A and B are shown apart, each in its own frame.
Chain A
């Protein structure tokens, strides 16, 4: 018998012993997800989990958008009777909470869960079972919040739930508890994904992908993940102590008993400001990727772009007080935060300059993804510049908590994050589905979204200056805000139409779109080196990276490395800085326990808003689920 045949029958079959076709087939079997119900619920494939994340986040975007549409209808004319104050307060709280916690952060993580392993050339995300668990937690948290809303106990205290309004005395019923506990759900899930991304990007990169060859989107996700790791504990602290105040009678925020209402604001915004960048930084990574592909040249200023990301990540932790300029803080302290808030304009400016420079010396190819990126430039620059106004203490004292701020953060969040996300969807859709979205519908979508957005949100700047505070369910005719509000509502309707078109484009693209092929845009990064959609193992042979844009540098054939086992879920672990192949490591098999653990934890979380004892008895099923999860099952991953 030949050596190859021997190896084929032996226990340790390596990829070097097999031809391409057989290797593909065997690896698909090793890495695949079985089609049974249990198989689907047990999957740990980052692409399947990522796809679920994406679709769920998209569903929450549409739900959150529907709430916004109702609010715009209510505000279209003065003293409208469409919805009353009680429902309106739930509407804007649900809108903000859904968009920030169930759409903004998760959607970026969804893209990362799907794309980061592909972009760094590995076969699965690090800690894939934790990844499955994080998705279930996110889904259950979202269902919990929306069920509460359907039962008319949706939170009504605003998406930052200031005390004492959300405290035990004024926050009636279970509404603020629902909000605070939903935070716990999404933070657990966000934190888990952040850790997976960091480890995947640092330890699982394909050999040769040194730190300075990491794709810019992956860099953006690394910085974002670190922001999540440092910011989210603050909000967990604030929401947990809020629950304690409400449920077991502590006095963290009760001024009458020596607590402090402002402490809550400090804790919340210490998370809340980085949160904005947690949503925005992944979008910059998407913009970098798309600009490079459609300018058809490498990014101008790779190093400044990466350093800017890191600088923004750091500075984002020193800005939180600019949400609190009107709370009577010492003037000198406030000035420090003015300076810091303005400072962040520098790294953000550098990114914009580098992108324009890339387009300048490239030859731009005008496709839908690039259109959305250009829309991003227009809208985000306006939002960034109005952010400089908000950084100034005096100007902020006029516009804080008015529609000017509403306009500003929608320019930043929709312009800075949603437009890039739409660009990214058009760009990576072929990889996700194997088919292209319609270019013609894409153009219509873009122009409707662009015009609708600006029509809806630009007038709000003026409304704010004319004295319209945010979070009012109505206004009197003599205030003179009627016509601009009507204009904003017209814009919102156009924006909503554009999203209907988008959903249609996604659905029809997935069914009848043109077949995409591996690399429809002729892009340079590794996710385009495999089939569309990728096979369960992502890459049958692990690429060896020699350049920042491996597919541009190696036009003939991508160099690969060999030696991984075929019948076992093996992947290559590399060194952090130079990405030298270090060890072979078995990646976990599918397991139903993450789902069971998520159910157990959800029961504990939901129960604990009704009685503190739920934490005690709820921990028993959690313990059982974790024991089941980690019980040695004699698989490869346990032996090593």
Chain B
């Protein structure tokens, strides 16, 4: 028994150590996630109490040593009647408990999906295995496309529209909100609110094929001013290369099949089936949260995407080693 208690404690210790994290439902960073975490802990407390009570009853039942039962059919009718009342009472208590829990759950659900005027509308399209992100604006010239990383202003509700281009995916950023599926043929939406600036990670939560494990998304919450700066920068087309290496990189990029799938606004590259690279150098990660963005990782990814993310739709291309360096330099500079 001692050994088991020790074990239990060590598991708990491990658990608590991991509660904080950039992708944890137990580390809420917004009002909705806080509501969810509160509801979770409330349920946990009530249900743990029930579990302990049931186990105590079981242990007591086993410890009671009545007289040996030579005739198993001999039961005490008065005792049976008493037990009847106890069991009926417990059944009624179970009913009341689940009723109350249902009530709490219902209220939480209403809070979670309360419709508030949104400050920003983002349309996310799920693809195998990356996120296409479109910031919508009534003024069409202020709409823009990016991928795998969204920025939101703190304290303001953000409406996220969810659609899919291929199979079912699920958008889930646990420190901000519960998940919602992206389903072909329909549009779902949820609202996100972040309390304070920070970087929160999310991940596809519906099995979507070979690289389901590498379909991360980053949410960067920042104050209104920083968000506006970021948005203005994203709206702009890519700056022309500022040195000869990057110029060579742009040439190589445009003369290769890259442009069949990728867009860089301000250049002839206009492919629409892969992530928009206009400001790829400003993102923190590469390949949907798989590699931290750096010139080296960009080069590695271009050389061997299938070694890093087996099954990914980006083809392996035969490129001159110099060209790879130049392309990586060019892309890294797309801030």
Chain B, 1-55, CB within 8 A of any chain A CB: 4, 7, 11, 14-15, 18-19, 21, 23-26, 35-36, 39-40, 43-44, 47-48, 50-51, 54-55
Residue from the list B62, B110, B180, B210 in contact with A397, Cβ < 8 A:
B180
**Does chain A have a CB within 8 A of B69?**
yes
A291 to B106, CA, bound (A): 38
**Does chain A have a CB within 8 A of B57?**
yes
- Digitize B189-205: 1 where CB-to-A-CB distance is under 8 Å, 0 elsewhere: 00000000000010111
**Does chain A have a CB within 8 A of B130?**
no
**Does chain B have a CB within 8 A of A84?**
yes
User: For residue B91, which residues in chain A have a CB less than 8 angstroms away from its CB?
Assistant: 346, 349-350, 353
Residue from the list B18, B79, B109 in contact with A462, Cβ < 8 A:
B18
User: For residue B39, which residues in chain A have a CB less than 8 angstroms away from its CB?
Assistant: 392, 394-395
Residue from the list B60, B67, B108, B208 in contact with A394, Cβ < 8 A:
B108
Give the contact stretch, choosing among A46-54, A422-430, A470-478, A609-617: A470-478
User: For residue B4, which residues in chain A have a CB less than 8 angstroms away from its CB?
Assistant: 451
User: For residue A470, which residues in chain B have a CB less than 8 angstroms away from its CB?
Assistant: 207
**Does chain A have a CB within 8 A of B212?**
yes
Give the contact stretch, choosing among B80-88, B240-248, B322-330: B80-88
Min distance, Cβ B172 to any Cβ of chain A, angstroms: 7
Chain A, 331-366, CB within 8 A of any chain B CB: 331, 334-335, 338-339, 342-343, 345-346, 349-350, 352-354, 356-357, 359-364
A631 to B57, CA, bound (A): 60
A484 pairs with B101, CB closer than 8 A: no
User: For residue B290, which residues in chain A have a CB less than 8 angstroms away from its CB?
Assistant: 476
**Does chain A have a CB within 8 A of B282?**
no
From known contacts A346-B98, A467-B24, A484-B18, infer whether A356 and B58 are also in contact, taking CB-CB under 8 Å: yes
User: For residue A301, which residues in chain B have a CB less than 8 angstroms away from its CB?
Assistant: 84, 87
Residue from the list B15, B72, B166 in contact with A296, Cβ < 8 A:
B72
B98 pairs with A85, CB closer than 8 A: no
From known contacts A170-B166, A359-B61, A361-B75, infer whether A458 and B11 are also in contact, taking CB-CB under 8 Å: yes
**Does chain A have a CB within 8 A of B222?**
no
**Does chain A have a CB within 8 A of B113?**
yes
A165 pairs with B209, CB closer than 8 A: yes
How many residue-residue contacts, CB under 8 A, span A and B? 272
B75 pairs with A297, CB closer than 8 A: yes
From known contacts A86-B310, A357-B87, A377-B58, infer whether A389 and B98 are also in contact, taking CB-CB under 8 Å: no
**Does chain A have a CB within 8 A of B143?**
no
User: For residue B75, which residues in chain A have a CB less than 8 angstroms away from its CB?
Assistant: 297-298, 361
A116 to B78, CA, bound (A): 34
User: For residue A17, which residues in chain B have a CB less than 8 angstroms away from its CB?
Assistant: none
**Does chain A have a CB within 8 A of B311?**
yes
A398 pairs with B43, CB closer than 8 A: no
User: For residue A399, which residues in chain B have a CB less than 8 angstroms away from its CB?
Assistant: 25
Min distance, Cβ B33 to any Cβ of chain A, angstroms: 8
Min distance, Cβ B52 to any Cβ of chain A, angstroms: 10
B72 pairs with A298, CB closer than 8 A: yes
A363 pairs with B66, CB closer than 8 A: yes
From known contacts A86-B311, A331-B113, A484-B14, infer whether A352 and B181 are also in contact, taking CB-CB under 8 Å: no
A471 pairs with B23, CB closer than 8 A: no
From known contacts A86-B310, A395-B105, infer whether A165 and B167 are also in contact, taking CB-CB under 8 Å: yes
Residue from the list B35, B101, B181 in contact with A326, Cβ < 8 A:
B181
A444 to B55, CA, bound (A): 22
**Does chain B have a CB within 8 A of A637?**
no
User: For residue A458, which residues in chain B have a CB less than 8 angstroms away from its CB?
Assistant: 11
**Does chain A have a CB within 8 A of B206?**
yes
Chain A, 468-491, CB within 8 A of any chain B CB: 469-476, 479-481, 483-484, 487
User: For residue B318, which residues in chain A have a CB less than 8 angstroms away from its CB?
Assistant: none
A396 to B108, CA, bound (A): 12
User: For residue B18, which residues in chain A have a CB less than 8 angstroms away from its CB?
Assistant: 462, 466, 480-481, 484
B21 pairs with A480, CB closer than 8 A: yes
A400 pairs with B72, CB closer than 8 A: no
**Does chain A have a CB within 8 A of B251?**
no
B55 pairs with A381, CB closer than 8 A: yes
Residue from the list B11, B72, B213 in contact with A85, Cβ < 8 A:
B213
Q: Which of B26, B213, B311 has the most CB of A within 10 A?
A: B213
Min distance, Cβ B293 to any Cβ of chain A, angstroms: 14
Give the contact stretch, choosing among A146-154, A228-236, A256-264: A256-264
Min distance, Cβ B259 to any Cβ of chain A, angstroms: 26
A335 to B50, CA, bound (A): 23
- Digitize B250-284: 1 where CB-to-A-CB distance is under 8 Å, 0 elsewhere: 00000000000000000000000000000000000
Min distance, Cβ B93 to any Cβ of chain A, angstroms: 9
Query: How many B residues have CB within 8 A of the partner chain?
Result: 94
From known contacts A350-B87, A389-B47, A392-B43, infer whether A298 and B180 are also in contact, taking CB-CB under 8 Å: no
A89 pairs with B210, CB closer than 8 A: yes
**Does chain A have a CB within 8 A of B123?**
no
Residue from the list A260, A362, A393 in contact with B105, Cβ < 8 A:
A393
From known contacts A377-B58, A378-B55, infer whether A362 and B66 are also in contact, taking CB-CB under 8 Å: yes
A391 to B97, CA, bound (A): 14
- Digitize B205-223: 1 where CB-to-A-CB distance is under 8 Å, 0 elsewhere: 1111111110000000000
A381 to B110, CA, bound (A): 29
A467 to B170, CA, bound (A): 13
B36 pairs with A85, CB closer than 8 A: no
B57 pairs with A338, CB closer than 8 A: no
Residue from the list A342, A374, A396 in contact with B58, Cβ < 8 A:
A374
User: For residue A394, which residues in chain B have a CB less than 8 angstroms away from its CB?
Assistant: 35-36, 39, 105, 108-109, 112, 178
Min distance, Cβ A152 to any Cβ of chain B, angstroms: 15
A401 pairs with B205, CB closer than 8 A: yes
B185 pairs with A469, CB closer than 8 A: no
A349 pairs with B181, CB closer than 8 A: no
Q: Which of A158, A300, A475 has the most CB of B within 10 A?
A: A300
Min distance, Cβ B123 to any Cβ of chain A, angstroms: 15
Residue from the list A297, A339, A359, A361 in contact with B62, Cβ < 8 A:
A359
**Does chain B have a CB within 8 A of A549?**
yes
B207 pairs with A165, CB closer than 8 A: yes
A326 pairs with B94, CB closer than 8 A: no
Nearest-neighbor residue (CB-CB) of B10 within chain A? A487
Nearest-neighbor residue (CB-CB) of A553 within chain B? B73
User: For residue B66, which residues in chain A have a CB less than 8 angstroms away from its CB?
Assistant: 361-363
**Does chain B have a CB within 8 A of A534?**
no
**Does chain B have a CB within 8 A of A382?**
yes
B109 pairs with A335, CB closer than 8 A: yes
Residue from the list A378, A402, A465, A487 in contact with B11, Cβ < 8 A:
A487
B23 pairs with A479, CB closer than 8 A: yes
**Does chain B have a CB within 8 A of A164?**
yes
A397 to B172, CA, bound (A): 9
User: For residue B311, which residues in chain A have a CB less than 8 angstroms away from its CB?
Assistant: 85-86
Nearest-neighbor residue (CB-CB) of A308 within chain B? B91
User: For residue A396, which residues in chain B have a CB less than 8 angstroms away from its CB?
Assistant: 178
A297 to B188, CA, bound (A): 56
User: For residue A363, which residues in chain B have a CB less than 8 angstroms away from its CB?
Assistant: 65-69
Chain A, 220-245, CB within 8 A of any chain B CB: none
User: For residue B54, which residues in chain A have a CB less than 8 angstroms away from its CB?
Assistant: 352, 356, 377, 381
B61 pairs with A360, CB closer than 8 A: yes
| 10 nearest A-B pairs in the assembled complex, by CB-CB distance | A397-B178, A255-B185, A467-B23, A328-B188, A472-B213, A392-B105, A342-B98, A360-B61, A385-B47, A349-B94
- Add 10 more A-B contacts to A357-B61, A398-B174, A466-B26 (CB < 8 A): A162-B168, A334-B109, A361-B75, A363-B68, A392-B101, A399-B25, A467-B172, A484-B14, A549-B73, A552-B71
What are 8 pairs between A and B in contact, CB < 8 Å? Answer: A86-B311, A165-B168, A262-B186, A328-B188, A331-B110, A334-B109, A401-B206, A466-B18
Residues of B at the A interface (CB closer than 8 Å) are 4, 7, 11, 14-15, 18-19, 21, 23-26, 35-36, 39-40, 43-44, 47-48, 50-51, 54-55, 57-58, 60-62, 64-69, 71-73, 75-76, 79-80, 83-84, 86-87, 90-91, 94-95, 98-99, 101-102, 105-106, 108-110, 112-113, 128, 162, 166-168, 170, 172, 174, 177-181, 183-186, 188, 201, 203-213, 290, 310-311
